[in-house]
Amino acid sequence: MLHKTKGIILRTVKYGETSLIATVYTELFGLQSYMVKGVRLTAKKGSSKANMFQPAGILDMVVYHNELKHLQIIKEYSWAKIYQHLHHDVVKNCVALFVVELATRSIKQPETNPDLYYFIENYLLLLDEADAAVTANLPLHFALHLARQLGFGIEDKDDENKTILDMQDGRFTNQIPPHGNYLDGRPANATAELLGTDNAISLFRIKLNKQLRQQLLQAYEQFYIYHISDFGNLKTVAVLEAVLA
């Protein structure tokens, strides 16, 4: 049966001479794999439709969907959103790749979840238009709030006397945990600020330096590794640490 759905491109692999297999997070069906036939053929004008399947691309699609199959087919596709900056700005592109990689490693099952779809889409659309200060903090904010969307997020700080963030239990406390995986001082306070900022547009108000961003990225990566089996290390973290001021 044919369905219309939006989808965010997570990754692609070449298939045969002219086709691709695309991993897509869709509005209607959650995580799906699609065969895209003939997409790598070069048109007369010298361009290929394969550029529409770059990671973080947002497409309107008409797809065949059969719940008994692991590989679906895209019949038609077009841009749902043409980014103005994201694919051309080095820093924004690195942040987008982080968003895509984190989503890819975190979402395991093809469950329908439109709220999660629009959560990811909204971050990418904001990133495209964001200024440098918001862009720099966006990976940290996305990582914390994606975990909440997935059901294992860190709790808000509810008591000023709780100055230590337990990075296994995901909560603020006033005691150093015996496992030693915790944040305190400015890293813990910065995390509380990021958690308390619901609207990512306001991220420019949170002042962080490069060293602190690196520390938090590594801590949040370990948080995901602890909570998601077979998560592995994020390839994009090292790239972000290099490009973010």
The proportion of the chain whose per-residue pLDDT surpasses 70, expressed as a percent, equals 97
pLDDT tier at 40, thresholds 50, 70, 90? confident
DSSP letter for 157, please: P
Q: What is the mean pLDDT of residues 174-201?
A: 96
Domains along the chain with CATH numbers: 1-82 (2.40.50.140), 84-245 (1.20.1440.120)
What pLDDT is attached to residue 46? 41
What whole-number distance in Å separates Cα of residue 170 and Cα of residue 172? Answer: 7
The proportion of the chain whose per-residue pLDDT surpasses 90, expressed as a percent, equals 89
Residue 173, pLDDT above cutoff 80 = yes
Using CB atoms within 10 Å of the CB of residue 140, give its burial: 0 to 12 exposed, 13 to 18 middle, 19+ buried.
buried
Query: Locate tokens 């997020």: which residue?
Result: 153
Length of the chain: 245
At 166, give phi and psi (nearest 5°).
-75, 115
Residue 74, pLDDT above cutoff 90 = yes
What pLDDT is attached to residue 39? 87
> Strands of 164-166's sheet, edge to edge?
171-173, 164-166, 182-183
pTM higher than 0.85, yes or no? yes
Q: How far apart are the first and last CA of the chain?
A: 48
Q: What is the mean pLDDT of residues 183-198?
A: 97
Residue 146, pLDDT above cutoff 90 = yes
Using CB atoms within 10 Å of the CB of residue 81, give its burial: 0 to 12 exposed, 13 to 18 middle, 19+ buried.
middle
Per-residue model confidence as pLDDT tens digits over 18-33: 899 999 999 999 999 9
Amino acid at 74: I
Per-residue model confidence as pLDDT tens digits over 199-224: 999 999 999 999 999 999 999 999 99
Residue 118, pLDDT above cutoff 80 = yes
**Cβ contact 109:31 at 8 Å:** yes
